Amino acid sequence: MKVTILTVGTYGDVAPCVALGSQLKKEGHEVVIATHEKMKSLCERFSLKFSQIRGDLSVETPPEQSKELFEAKGWKRVSSFFKLMRLFYRVLDVQLQDCYEAAKGADLIIYHKAAFAGPHLAEHFKIPAVQMLLQPELPTWQHASCLVSMPKWMGQYGNYLGHLISQQFLWQIFRGKINQWRHEVLQLPKSPFWKPTTYQKIYDLVTFSPSLMDRPKDWGPDVKMVGFCRLKETDQWTPPKELVQFIESGVSPIYLGFGSLSESFSPHVIQEIIKVLDEKGIKTIVPANLPGLQDLKLPSHIFPIGYVPHDWLFPKVAAVIHHGGVGTLSAGLYAGKPTWIIPCIVDQFFFGEKTAKDWRVGPQPIAKVDFNREKFAVGLDQLLQNLQVYQEKATQYKHLLEKEDGVRAASTWIQETFY
């Protein structure tokens, strides 16, 4: 079976697709990963065929425009999400074209939610398709939308409405352009107003742990929920000796990093973070690409690093502080580590609240837009003073997650369903 996986976005969006693609390749299938050029080396490291999708927003979006997306507060977060979708609109033409080329000859298409061509190409080529969702973001009455927050007093009605709004954000912005593409290129009729396609061979694969959020009972039989699809890189990576020595000397460090959103933090914010860590003498590992970090003289107990796989690093630290991306979140919980989230955009606010209130593995999140030195210092104290309590809860989730193998479960389901 020839499988084409369409995925756009950051490392956190692409890595789960590479993990699944690698497993399918091991099972004897031909796999092509279509994604941005910056992910080519990652695909090739796992011996997967690569096909380029142009229109990488991280490259083409001006810094000042990117910054605006991450400065919104309250209901303006919804507006920032809308603006993000409008940026996608600018690059959609080339992405649709590149996805079309990558999908030629495929027996099955697997597509990330932001790879909007996926369901339409499946309809055009008359093959099945799987929408791969990294968050449990499908309509349900049972839990809130990860992307659109509704007032708590609305209860289950707010839950369902939030999901519907998030779906329409992702469709209405692109409906006109995609319908034009369907007519002119794919020779397909226009999609209905409320959804991208009525094609029946579209399935949903939710790669989020049911140990953290129960599978909603109102999801239909075409929805499969498995654990996280984690990309394990430890065996392909050799740590620098200096990093190993730093970790093994004295107490375990904490890790602080913001993944692909690091550049959205101003040098001033990074400077304030470093000052607090320095004053408190907290042994810390931080990414070397944090804005303005190269201009600071770091104390010996703060260690800057280049790229390091989370599945190697996180088991060796005492706690993780990060932006709340689902990939970093799952890596920290798999390692059984206390987690404090400083969310920047969309689903990160949702997961920040989950870590504090529902899973109780860390203190209340502090939004990036609300950041100041005093709040960060208070939150850090709460994390460290209650570390043992958070650790015990995180360990419980670690044991649950270790019983799951999202990659293998997803691969097995795909083969049983489509092969």
* Cβ-proximal residues to 162 (8 Å cutoff; 6+ apart), any chain: 144, 145, 147, 148, 149, 150
pLDDT digits (tens, 9 = 90+) for 345-355: 879 999 999 99
3-state secondary structure 93-148: HHHHHHHHHHHCCCCEEEEECCCCCHHHHHHHHCCCEEEEECCCCCCCCCCCCCCC
Residue 208 corresponds to which amino acid? Answer: F
Integer Cα distance of 8 and 200 in angstroms: 24
Give me the phi and psi of 108, to 5 degrees please. -150, 135
H/E element holding 330? helix 326-334
Domain boundaries, the chain: 2-228+405-418, 234-402
- pLDDT confidence band for 73 (50 / 70 / 90): low
The per-residue pLDDT for 235 is 84
> Which element (helix H / strand E) includes 50?
strand 49-52
pLDDT higher than 80, residue 128 = yes
Q: How deeply is 150 buried, as exposed, middle or buried, from its count of CB atoms within 10 A (0-12, 13-18, 19+)?
A: middle
Strands (E), 183-251: 202-207, 223-226
Here the tokens at position 397 are 């989730």
How does residue 72 score in pLDDT terms, banded at 50, 70 and 90? Answer: low
Residues 6 or more apart whose CB falls under 8 angstroms from that of 3 comprise 21, 24, 29, 30, 31, 32, 106, 107, 108, 109, 110, 414
Per-residue pLDDT reduced to its tens digit, 341-394: 999 887 999 999 999 999 999 999 999 888 999 999 999 999 999 999 999 999
Over residues 131-135, mean pLDDT: 96
The reply to whether domains 2-228+405-418 and 234-402 share a CATH topology is yes
Q: How many CA atoms lie within 13 A of 2 on its CB side?
A: 9
Give the chain's mean pLDDT.
91
- Give the per-residue pLDDT at 346: 79
**339-341 β-sheet, strand order:** 302-305, 284-287, 254-256, 319-322, 339-341
More confident position, 198 or 121: 121
The CATH architecture of the domain made up of 2-228+405-418 is 3-Layer(aba) Sandwich (3.40)
CB-side neighbour CA atoms (13 Å) of 45: 15
234-402 in CATH: which number? 3.40.50.2000
What pLDDT score was predicted for residue 344? 87
Cβ proximity of 8 and 36 under 8 Å: yes
| Alpha-helix residue ranges (DSSP H) falling in 147-266 | 155-172, 175-184, 241-248
| The pLDDT of residue 264 is above 90 | no
